[in-house]
Amino acid sequence: MARLRESRLRILVTGGAGFLGSHLIDRLLAEGHDVLCVDNLFTGSKQNIEHLNLHPRFEFMRHDVTFPLYVEVDEIYNLACPASPFHYQHDPVQTTKTSVHGAINMLGLAKRLRCRILQASTSEVYGDPAQHPQTESYWGNVNPIGPRSCYDEGKRCAETLFFDYHRQHDLQIKVARIFNTYGPRMHHADGRVVSNFVVQALKGDPLTIYGDGQQSRSFCYVDDLIDGLIRLMRSDDSVTGPVNLGNPEEFTIKELAEKIISRTGAASGLIRSPSPVDDPMQRRPDISLAGSLLGWRPEVRLDDGLDRTIAYFRSRMDEILAI
């Protein structure tokens, strides 16, 4: 049973200037809460939160979560970490530190305040899965020493820390395993497949497919994902997770490229490049647990979500082309 949220809370969102964080903050403010947004702006952008500059219940603090933070809040959403391969491989040591030191610092804060804390984990904890679709009980197939390991293993270690704090200090934790999410405010050059394809199509360039394009992914629209995070945070104390949050509809990368070409009206073709190291061949969440515990299921179909995402990037093409 979900907890009632009738009073105004002061909520900390780390990584709040990022793609997911900024959408989460919009929802929390709309519900009447006070929000402290913390971000070091490595991948986050002030542009994502500039519409909130004059909001009376919004506060921004530039801070790196690998250093301790001393604030007073009622809840913590820990979203801080580069999430795209291009960004998290740029400085892999810092990526690991953000996941591990960041988790330690935010858990320490939650312990001091005796408040609940949600960890934004990832489907990457499953690695290149031997189980399909992936359930939360699956332990994963992760390379611990590859170029993606800074993110995959960093997030796995963060989950370990969350559950150890829960067992050792009786901390109220929530762990969400987030699958591929897309929508407005994605960074145009983050290297993720939806943003890559949309920007390439709008520019009239060929769409770059890595490998044969038969690897599969499932794509969750950002509004659905944010709804899942909030439902998880507000769930009964006994619900710790991990809980998969994603859209179980599965598409090959080639199918996605063809959809985006069609929906943009582009004349783009396809070009192929070698697959990145340790790129998983298939990824689809089993969301039975989210359905039974949270009453959650994504509602936005891929075609509708792509139309909204394309419209966002189309509105920013002059700016993108000028960079």
pLDDT in the model for residue 4: 42
Asked: is 10-322 a CATH 3.40.50.2000 domain? The reply is no
Tell which residue, 34, 169, 24, has the closest CA to residue 108: 169
pLDDT in the model for residue 323: 62
Tell which residue, 212, 226, 210, has the closest CA to residue 298: 226
Model confidence pLDDT, tens digit, residues 90-134: 889 999 999 999 999 999 999 999 999 999 999 999 999 999 999
User: Which two three-digit tokens encode residue 214?
Assistant: 């038969």
Q: What is the DSSP letter of 123?
A: G
Please state the rounded mean pLDDT for residues 4-24: 90
Its pTM stands at 0.94
pLDDT confidence band for 233 (50 / 70 / 90):
very high
- Residue whose token pair is 């609940």: 116
- Which listed residue (151, 165, 182, 221) is catalytic? 151
Per the annotation, the verdict on 165 as an active-site residue is no
pLDDT in the model for residue 6: 54
Spans of all domains in the chain:
10-322
CB 219 within 8 A of CB 194: yes
